């Protein structure tokens, strides 16, 4: 579901909001802003050559997807929350990987800020990854992990 929702929201943004255009939703706090991120998280490596950057991010993303899928499949059934966190991370990673394969960059559009202080724009896939990692950290702290 994460992949479908991510790709639908990105398609809607690409088809309705011009690139670099911003629509204020909550003044001084939240806008829909259509941008493309050629780099990684927070624009990491965005200014490097596109060939090297694309190859590196495709390899890293593919390895991450395989690793998360492995952990998801190995999680005992009684650890449903752990499975859910891996599913969120996997769905988010696949959503952004699809963008990298299709466009060579990731479509971002959720723009949070307070006044002139902006958090880097993100998307549904990024949100799923963040929530999944948050759940994972929570489970580690509470020692609710399988042996």
Strand segments, DSSP code E, in the chain are 22-26, 30-37, 106-114, 117-118
The answer to whether 99 is a known catalytic residue is: no
Evaluate whether 97 touches 6 at the Cβ level (below 8 Å). no
Across the beta sheet with 30-37, the strand order is 22-26, 30-37, 106-114, 117-118
| Catalytic residue (one of 6, 99, 111, 126) | 126
| Catalytic residue (one of 6, 99, 108, 111) | 108
DSSP H/E element including 102: helix 80-103
Q: Which residues are catalytic?
A: 108, 126
């Amino acid at each position: 579901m994460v992949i479908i929702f991510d790709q639908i929201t990105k398609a809607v943004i690409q088809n309705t909001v011009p690139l670099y255009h911003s629509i204020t939703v909550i003044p001084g706090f939240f806008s829909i802003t259509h941008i493309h991120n050629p780099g990684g998280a927070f624009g990491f490596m965005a200014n490097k050559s596109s060939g090297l950057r694309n190859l590196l991010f495709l390899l890293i993303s593919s390895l991450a997807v395989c690793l998360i899928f492995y952990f998801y499949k190995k999680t005992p059934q009684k650890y449903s929350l752990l499975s859910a966190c891996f599913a969120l991370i996997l769905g988010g990673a696949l959503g952004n990987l699809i963008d990298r394969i299709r466009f060579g960059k990731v479509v971002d559009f959720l723009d949070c800020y307070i006044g002139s202080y902006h958090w880097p724009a993100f998307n549904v896939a990024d949100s799923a990854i963040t929530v999944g990692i948050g759940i994972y950290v929570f489970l580690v702290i509470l020692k609710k992990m399988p042996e």
